[in-house]
Each structure stands twice: as structure tokens, then as C-alpha cells.
């Protein structure tokens, strides 16, 4: 390891390690019984995954690599079946493991495959994007997409550990880094206003991969999520707050065929949720404007094209938080004070959507 690391415990279940050069700790997170490892990575990340593969082989493990498509197109039953076939062909047992190297789509997919192979084998996540570090890799949620919606098929399967190597952030295209900031800012809105203050106080320091505030932002966002999921593994009320902006955000992703970045869709969803909260009498106009100002400042969208409400409303009916035909939204009473809005009137939803489209 090339620098000091911060270890953030997720209850008593596992640790998230944050720092520069920490991916070489991958073998520390595997039990001594592991003999084979399947490294799942996107096709485009062979070079970034190479040090992890080398470290595993150096430890005497048999390593098989599986390259999957980039982005959300990897999260299908067909790709998962291909990974199951690989595990079967190499006779993976319950004492073997999966290591996911990549963004949120890879951690979701590899986690799901690990959860379902022999009813559960160990998985270690090595997230390479900001979005995956602060969100997808932490919490034990796994899943794949179907034509009907995002992450509708999945399982809760906690990883053996997570390695957030901040060196990987320097490899991200600027739009991907910006998209990841949506989940960081979300953490600020729902639980840790200090995150918002860091962004507002020095935008450059907070939005560069090598910016002096980036590590603190990552650690704060992870610590917030770790505290929530440790108290609520399987998404009852407390864990639902992590879905702030996701009800409309997931609908936007589905309607647009998953061509829009997740963070961009969540930014749109958070702006919608802020307008909805304001119209429902929960949130002040100043707080709504703060949403728009912060998200816009980091380069995220806060408006949406008019004319798509009916399609989006249909997609939201398939959201995992929906109960029967009743939509449920996470909204804010104030910055850092989330609550649930259950079954809002259709007219209220349309009005908030109109606000979003202006």
C-alpha cells in the first residue's frame, strides 16, 4: 500500500478501505480457504484490473478473468448466465470467491452472480468510479435489469470487503466523475450537510479527482451510507432514504434506454423531489433553489424536457418502493431531514414535473 488508508466499518460485517494504492490489499479480504477467484471487469478495464489480478496470482490463487460489456448493458440475465457458466466450468466451490473491478454496473452484476452461485460465495468489490465507491459497492445490494425496469431482479449479499483506491478516479472521463458527484451531493442533502458546504466553499477542490476535498467527500459519503445500511440491511424505512432522487431517476434511465448516466438521472430526480416536497408543504423555496444551485455548479442537470410525464409515471409504478399502486417518494423536511411522502396526488406530481421542466 502506498499511502495511509481510512477504514470505514459497515457495522460488524465488513470494512470499506479508502486511500491511494489500496487495491493491493485485495488478498487481505479473502479467507485462507479461497483457491480460485473470478475477476469480473468491463472489457475496457483490462489495464486497470491488471494489478489486482497480479496480486491475486502472486498470492498463489488461480485467477480467471471475465470481461463483460461496459455500462448497464452488462446487467442482464444473459451476461449473468455466462458468468455462472464460467464458475461451473471451473468447479468453483463455496470457499472460492468473486472479485469485481469496475463501476456500479460491475459491482451490481458480480455481486448478484456471487449471491446466487451455490446460494452465496464471497465477493470483494474494487470500485473504479466515484459513483461505485460512494454508492453501488457499499451496502450489499446486487441486481440486474430487465425490460420492465432497473434492478428489479436482485438479492442482498454483503461483500467480504470494499477497496476504494482513489488513484482510479484520475482515470475517469470528466462526465463520469461529475455523474458520481450526484451520489456524493445526495449524501449531503439527506444526512451530512457538511458535504454541501465543502462543495459550495471551494468548487474546484471538491470537483477535481485530485482536489484537496475529494477524499473527505468520498469518506463522508461512504460513512453516511455505512451507518445507514449497518442499521438497516434490507431496505425498510431507514435505508429508503438512500433512494432520494431515485424514484424518478430510475424512470428516466429506463425511458432513455439506460443511455443517460445514473448520476445525471439521480440529479434530475433530486430536483423533482425537491419541487415535490415544496409543493407538498415540506421544503422551503430556498432549499429547492439550493438543490438547483449545487447540482448545476458541479455540472449536473436540474431540468428535464417536457412532454414525457405519462411515460415516466408508468415507469415509476414499477419502482421497488411502490406498494400496490401507491407511489412512495423520499423527500426532505429540511436539508439533512428526510421523510417519506406516500401516495401524493397526481395533480401534485404533475405540478412538480412542470416545475422540473422549466
| Residue 183 assigned to a binding site | yes
Q: Is 64 annotated as a binding residue?
A: no
Q: Is 183 a catalytic residue?
A: yes
Phi, psi of 137 (to 5 degrees): -80, -15
The catalytic position among 41, 125, 186, 246 is: 246
**Does 107 appear as a known binding residue?**
no
Q: In the annotation, is 246 catalytic?
A: yes
Beta carbons of 93 and 126 less than 8 angstroms apart: no
Contact 218, 127 (CB under 8 A): no
Instruction: Please name the helix (run of DSSP H) or strand (run of DSSP E) that holds residue 298, with its range, or none.
Output: helix 285-298
Known catalytic residue at 219: no
Residues 6+ apart with CB under 8 A from 208: 214
Find the catalytic residue in 225, 275, 278, 320. Answer: 225
Which of 25, 41, 262, 275 does the annotation list as catalytic?
262
Give yes or no: 72 in active site: no
Residue 225 a catalytic site member: yes
Q: Given 194, 208, 215, 239, which residue is catalytic?
A: 239
Residue of 125, 186, 250, 328 marked catalytic: 250
- Tell me if residue 208 is catalytic: no
Is 90 designated active site?
no
Tally of CB atoms within 10 A around 317: 13
Is residue 235 among the annotated active site residues? yes
- Annotated active-site residue in 235, 260, 282, 290: 235
Report the chain's terminal Cα–Cα distance, integer Å.
Answer: 49
* 141 annotated as ligand-binding: yes
94 is annotated as an active-site residue: no
Rounded Cα–Cα distance for residues 135 and 155 (Å): 16
Q: Binding site annotation covers 291?
A: no
Q: Spot the catalytic one: 158, 183, 240, 264.
A: 183
Residues 6+ apart with CB under 8 A from 239: 139, 228, 229, 232, 233
Binding-site residues from annotation for Zn(2+): 183, 246, 262
Active site (catalytic) residues: 119, 141, 183, 225, 235, 239, 243, 246, 250, 262
Amino acid at each position: 500500500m502506498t499511502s495511509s488508508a481510512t477504514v470505514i466499518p459497515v457495522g460488524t460485517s465488513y470494512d470499506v478501505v479508502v486511500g491511494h494504492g489500496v487495491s493491493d490489499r485485495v488478498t487481505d479480504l479473502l479467507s485462507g480457504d479461497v483457491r480460485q477467484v473470478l475477476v469480473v471487469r468491463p472489457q475496457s478495464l483490462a489495464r486497470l484490473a491488471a494489478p489486482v489480478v497480479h496480486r491475486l496470482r502472486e498470492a498463489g490463487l488461480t485467477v480467471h478473468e471475465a470481461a463483460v460489456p461496459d455500462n448497464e448493458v452488462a446487467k442482464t440475465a444473459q451476461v449473468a448466465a455466462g458468468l455462472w457458466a464460467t464458475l461451473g466450468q471451473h468447479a468453483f466451490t463455496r470457499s472460492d470467491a468473486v472479485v469485481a473491478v469496475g463501476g456500479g454496473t460491475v459491482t451490481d452484476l458480480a455481486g448478484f452472480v456471487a449471491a446466487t452461485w451455490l446460494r452465496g460465495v464471497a465477493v470483494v468489490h474494487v470500485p473504479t468510479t466515484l459513483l461505485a465507491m460512494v454508492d453501488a459497492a457499499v451496502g450489499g445490494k446486487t441486481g440486474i435489469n430487465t425490460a420492465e425496469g432497473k434492478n428489479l431482479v436482485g438479492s442482498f449479499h454483503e461483500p467480504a470487503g470494499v477497496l476504494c483506491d482513489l488513484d482510479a478516479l484520475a482515470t475517469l472521463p470528466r462526465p463520469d466523475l461529475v455523474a458520481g458527484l450526484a451520489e456524493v451531493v445526495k449524501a449531503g442533502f439527506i444526512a451530512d450537510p457538511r458535504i454541501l458546504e465543502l462543495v459550495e466553499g471551494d468548487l474546484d477542490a471538491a470537483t477535481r479527482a485530485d482536489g484537496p476535498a475529494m477524499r473527505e467527500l468520498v469518506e463522508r459519503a461512504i460513512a453516511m451510507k455505512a451507518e445507514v445500511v449497518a442499521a438497516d440491511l434490507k431496505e425498510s424505512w431507514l435505508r429508503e432514504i438512500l433512494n432520494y432522487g431515485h424514484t424518478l431517476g430510475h424512470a428516466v434511465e429506463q425511458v432513455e434506454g439506460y443511455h443517460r448516466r445514473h448520476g445525471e438521472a439521480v440529479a434530475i430526480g433530486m430536483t423533482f423531489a425537491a419541487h415535490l416536497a415544496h409543493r407538498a408543504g415540506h421544503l422551503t423555496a430556498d432549499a429547492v433553489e439550493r438543490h438547483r444551485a449545487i447540482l448545476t455548479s458541479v455540472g449536473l442537470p436540474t431540468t428535464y424536457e417536457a412532454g414525457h410525464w405519462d411515460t415516466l409515471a408508468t415507469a415509476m409504478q414499477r419502482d421497488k418502493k411502490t406498494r400496490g399502486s401507491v407511489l412512495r417518494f423520499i423527500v426532505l423536511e429540511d436539508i439533512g431531514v428526510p421523510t417519506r411522502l406516500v401516495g401524493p396526488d397526481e395533480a401534485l406530481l404533475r405540478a412538480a414535473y412542470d416545475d422540473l421542466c422549466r
